[in-house]
Each structure stands twice: as structure tokens, then as C-alpha cells.
Chains A and B, each alone.
Chain A
């Protein structure tokens, strides 16, 4: 596609449920990043993927968070046993190579009730 797409755009879930967020990067981009943005705050880095290398998980806030990427395509961010503190906008970005300009998707707004 022309840009980074994310789905769903909005997700409301009950505390304790698992959620899966999807990101489709720009075709040909080898690097993919996940960020979290709480209301009124800046972006918090979660994880990045570069090609077929093992992902850097240093930013994941807890072991309830995990992410996968198949080759250089779609990525999913999974949050298990969601908590109210997980409520935020989850943004995905991709770049041609690691460290080059990142292009962001519109985000998924997650609300945990």
C-alpha cells in the first residue's frame, strides 16, 4: 500500500482479555517499530524488527507484551491479560532500513475497561 496501515483503528476490551494489534508496513521497508502513546504524552518505544534479525524487545513494558513479524511484512503486537494501564494509542512505523526516516501508521486506540 501507499502507507503504513494498522488495524483495528479502535479496540475496546475488558480487563483480563487478550488483544492482538496488526501493522502492515510500507512494502520494501525492512525495519518496523512499535510505539505506545498515552493520552497527552509522547511516544514510548516498545520494540523494533530489522529484516530477519531477532527483534530488540528492550522496550516492552512487561512479559504480557509480545510481538511477531513474518519476514519483512505484517507484524502483530499481542497484549495478554490486558490491564487498564494498557489503554493507549499503539503506533506502528516502518523505515527503509534501520535508522532511516520512519513513516507512521494512524495507530490503534486501545481502551481497557
Chain B
């Protein structure tokens, strides 16, 4: 069936390095994607979104890339900081069904 999933469950990086978190989706009709950050004990927090008519979108220290050919989404975090340690979810906006989330990738930033 259709699904949204993440390639890696955990990612560990050194402070100051760049982080790349990947996501695969299988619903070719999806036209809107969101990356969320969830810190321990808190609800998900919006980071950045992208529509399917775009390939790239940049925010503050974050960039989302969308490759519709291979149905792949990635989140790049520049100069990763300890405060970036969290679980990151990609989500596919189903509108009528809320959002479909993947299992999440836990990012750990080592000082």
C-alpha cells in the first residue's frame, strides 16, 4: 500500500557538521510534504514544507530537496547544533486524512 517511510532510524553527527535526513514516499499523487522536529516530551514542530511543483526550498539552516522521479525527500541541516538533537519526521499531507507520518529518524549531535 501507499506509505511514507524513512531510510534510517538513527543518525549521529558531530557538532558543526551538516546533517542529511532522508525520506521515501510511495504515493506518486502526493503534492505536499512537511518536515517536523519532535523533541522529547513535546509535540511535533513544523520545520519546513515543500510542494511538488518545487525541487528545493531553503529555510534558516535547513533545506528540503524533493526528487519526484524516485519519490525521495531529504532534509539538510547546516552546521548542526546540539539543539538540533530530536526525532525528525517527514509527513505527506493527505488533507482529508490529516498527515501521514513516517516512523522518524533520531538525530543525535555529539559535541
Query: Which of B42, B44, B45 is close to A43, meaning CB atoms less than 8 Å apart?
Result: B44
With A43-B89, A104-B44, A104-B45 as known contacts, state yes or no: A35 contacts B102, CB within 8 Å: no
**Total number of residue pairs linking A and B with CB closer than 8 Å:** 55
Is A102 touching B99 in the complex (CB atoms < 8 A)? Answer: yes
Is B44 touching A98 in the complex (CB atoms < 8 A)? Answer: no
Task: Report the bound CA distance from A101 to B102 in whole Å.
Answer: 17
Interface size on B, residues (CB 8 A): 23
- A91 vs chain B, min Cβ distance (A): 5
Is A107 touching B93 in the complex (CB atoms < 8 A)? Answer: no
- A14 vs chain B, min Cβ distance (A): 24
Task: Report the bound CA distance from A98 to B94 in whole Å.
Answer: 10
Closest to B41 in A: A106
What chain B residues lie within 8 Å of A102 (beta carbons)?
46, 98-99
- A89 vs chain B, min Cβ distance (A): 9
Task: Report the bound CA distance from A54 to B73 in whole Å.
Answer: 34
Q: CB within 8 Å of B: which of A36-51?
A: 40-45, 48
Pairs across A and B, CB under 8 Å, 19 listed: A33-B98, A43-B91, A43-B99, A44-B101, A45-B94, A45-B100, A56-B97, A58-B97, A93-B43, A98-B95, A98-B96, A99-B32, A99-B95, A102-B98, A103-B46, A104-B43, A104-B45, A107-B42, A107-B43
Residues of A within 8 A of B (CB): 4, 33, 35, 40-45, 48, 56, 58-59, 91, 93, 98-99, 101-107
Known: A48-B97, A104-B45. 7 other contacts (CB 8 A): A41-B103, A41-B104, A43-B99, A44-B101, A48-B96, A91-B43, A106-B43
